[in-house]
Structure 1
């Protein structure tokens, strides 16, 4: 729909002036060539509009997201070769010297939770060890916000096994479970729901139609003063504006917070995921992840990717924070549960040991920052010199920061630096993902300067 409106502005329908013979009998008939030209323009405009609308239907989420259909053939479980799968998770969770690195991982990539940074970590590990990724076909997500189905995986065949699944999806456990060997580690990441809502509102607000009606400079504050006035739960892309974590994890984001189903869903997440990371304690989360997967320190080094430029509008105040928390109460209950369990896990790991490992991770990250990043910090999109380092931007703005790679880097660090700084879309293409829809959509956006 948005493209249709834009096309009407860019290519307005020609006004046809018919000769009113009864009123102005002396007016001569319009030349035949003018009619032919107008007809050609109308036909070309209709064809071009139809093409873009068709492309748009592939490039953006569908209006109604239902369960993805599957066939009996699609339900065939992963059949790893004998001895090919990792040992049971409990064996890999040991911190002893005999611990073996985990290579089978499902990362449920949630929105606006530093998940792109974690994705880069998984890309690097998989590339380093020659692992098999389950990539989406055509786009950089699994037809989100539709539910995940195995048939959405690029080059999928019944019984196929993959080591790593990590792109955006709306989670559907049984479908995902059937793509990885037994003992695969399931992980995800959560964020304070009020802060997540703020980030999602600014990033996705331009593609949620009701938010277009907000007139004040601080649209977020206006929305939170009376969210029911602007929010339609059945509206286009409305899932981005309420309980986004619950939605991403595959649950009904419009449930009554007092429903017993909410607690059941939270306990279900706890039973399915071996580790739930917290964005606010990202370094501590990576230390726990490193321990769970029996990885090395180099495997979890990172630079913050897909970060948004600070908004000129102040962050949520106390009252607006309270309103945002209440508006996203399902996510709030989810987050509070896993915040508590996270710190129980830190206690079991050891506070002193955690502080030591976090300090080591931060020192290593700082060292890589000095080695890799020109200027030592993230910059606006306009200041990024290499298009291969240009991150994907939200519609209508360039608010996502990126990096410039130093021009002179020692050979032993050059490959790692480039991989650590490569944005998601470019890295997916480097790894062999077929993103023809995403690339074509980018070309159109660049041409129309969206």
Structure 2
């Protein structure tokens, strides 16, 4: 009997140890599995979840027009002109716009939040987002389809500063201390004397592009964050257009979105009267660029990448496409515009064609519609010439705050 007890004793011991080890593994797994799940990025149930779209085309076949677009509307960069193009395209294709409520912007200069979209409900999807905002990518990303095109426009920072200074100066209180005929020149002689980064509306007068795109406009230009932010813009935006090469930019946009020439015809909106645009001298231009160094670094990067896109598109092909666009613009000008050119505000006959003006001045030009326009072109002509505020109202946006407070500077 003793000889039989030892094997049974060993087997029982091994069984008990095996059960304990298995129990330990089960407990360990029960602890680790939830931990691994919690470390993963939780799904955002409030994000846009559109149905799977049909394939754009068969291999080698024609593409389909892209209808999901985020336009990060920067200030004083011909953005109102591009906005008109998007409004017309959206109407034509009955697309769903994400519009603000009460204002013509998304509570700018505060950061964008999806809750600012009129009648927003978690999970809502939109085709086009295009009103002024201070950009916040995760919030915008959650409102559009995964393959939405992100676009924006930049402008030479010195020229943008000049335009912004004259357009917004009256609503930036610390500039009221400036005296003399050329306040801009006086400001640039000693910006630190007149500029308070924490002052009301101060963002309009330094590195406005950087600010609009959601970054700190007071960063040290030598900070590594600056290059990181520029790389981030490059990763997020499919096309960064340049105001100085607007026609070339529109051709690239047409290519990106698979649009037709008729979709990008335009008249220049919100242009200033020539006499109200003093040109910066060489020294003042240098000072304005240095004062907006973050924007200068941003612009320099995307100026280079823009021309790489043009080279890839083909220089000769680009020249042909630009010529076609300009011919079509001129044709529409002869059809739509009385006198064929923009006129001062006091010469605009129809109230619905009056652009909003900077506070205390009337420097923004507008247009008169021809009295006789063929039925075929009547609607298109009116849409192309309608200023931003009036077009938003036509699209059903309730601008009660803008109307109540009469905020003319909100129009750009």
| TM tier, smaller | 0.7 to 0.9
Q: Distance in 2 between matches of 1:288 and 1:236?
A: 37
How many angstroms does 1:314 deviate by? 3.1
Contact 2:188–2:287 under 8 Å retained in 1: yes
Question: Which residue of 253, 256, 263 corresponds with 1:289?
Answer: 253
* Paired residues for 1:56-67 under 5 Å: none
Partner of 2:233: 269
| 2:381 aligns with one of 412, 417, 420 | 417
SS at match of 1:187: strand
1:264-293 superposed Cα distances (whole Å, 9 cap, x missing partner): 000000000000000000000000000000
Q: Given the superposition, is the C-alpha separation of residues 397 and 120 from structure 1 closer, same or farther in structure 2, using an over 3 Å criterion?
A: same
CA contact (8 A) 1:106 1:185 kept: yes
Of the three residues 224, 248, 251, the one matched with 2:215 is 251
Deviation at 1:311, TM superposition (A): 3.7
Q: Distance in 2 between matches of 1:74 and 1:435?
A: 31
Indicate the residue corresponding to 2:16 in structure 1: none
Contact 2:109 2:134 in 1 (8 A): yes
Alignment of 1:158-307 (within 5 A): 158-307=122-271
Partner of residue 151, structure 1: 115
Structure 1 residues not aligned, in runs of 5+: 1-71, 446-450
* Contact persistence 2:72–2:131 (CA under 8 A): yes
Provide the rounded CA distance (Å) in 2 between the counterparts of 1:227 and 1:97.
56
Q: Which has the larger radius of gyration?
A: 2
Structure 2: gaps (5+ residues):
1-41
Work out which of the residue numbers 297, 304, 317 in structure 1 matches 2:281. 317
Q: Which residue matches 1:77?
A: 47
Q: Does structure 2 retain, via aligned residues, the 8 Å contact 1:403–1:421?
A: yes
Aligned residue number for residue 392 of structure 2: 428
Report if aligned partners of 1:134, 1:165 keep a CA contact under 8 Å in 2: yes
Question: Do the aligned partners of residues 158 and 209 (structure 1) sit closer, same or farther apart at CA in structure 2, a change above 3 Å counting?
Answer: same
2:403 is aligned to: 439
Aligned to 1:42: none
SS in 2 for 1:170: coil
Paired residues of 1:145 and 1:169 also in contact (CA < 8 A):
yes
1:285-308 CA-to-partner distances (Å, cap 9, x unmatched) read 000000000000000000000111
Mapped contact 2:215–2:229 kept (Cα < 8 A): yes
- Distance in 1, matches of 2:375 and 2:279, equals 42
State the Cα distance separating 1:310 from its structure 2 match. Answer: 2.1
* 1:395 equivalenced with 2:359 (yes/no): yes
Choose which of 360, 364, 374 in structure 1 pairs with 2:328.
364
| Contact map agreement 1:86 1:103 (CA 8 A) in 2 | no
- Aligned positions of 1:107-146 closer than 5 A: 107-146=71-110
Partners of 1:97 and 1:419 lie apart in 2 by 32
Query: How far off is 1:353 after superposition?
Result: 0.2
Q: 3-state DSSP class of the match of 1:255? A: coil
Offset of residue 439 of structure 1: 1.5
- Equivalent residues of 2:97, 2:127 under 8 A apart: yes
Q: 2:310 aligns with which of 336, 346, 349?
A: 346
Kindly state the Cα deviation for residue 165 of structure 1 after the two structures are TM-superposed: 0.1
Query: What is the CA RMSD across the aligned residues, in angstroms?
Result: 1.8
Give how far 1:313 is off: 6.5
User: Structure 1 CA distance, aligned partners of 2:290 and 2:180?
Assistant: 22
Q: Quick one: distance in 2 between partners of 1:75 and 1:252?
A: 30
Contact 1:374/1:404 (<8 A) preserved: yes
- Give the drift of 1:333: 0.1
CA distance, structure 1, for counterparts of residue 266 and residue 55 of structure 2:
27
1:91-110 matches, cutoff 5 A: 97-110=61-74
How many matched pairs?
367
Matched, 1:380 2:350: no
Does residue 334 of structure 1 match 2:298? yes
Find the aligned partners of 1:119 and 1:401 in 2 and give their Cα distance. Answer: 17
Does the 8 A contact of 1:74 with 1:150 survive in 2?
no
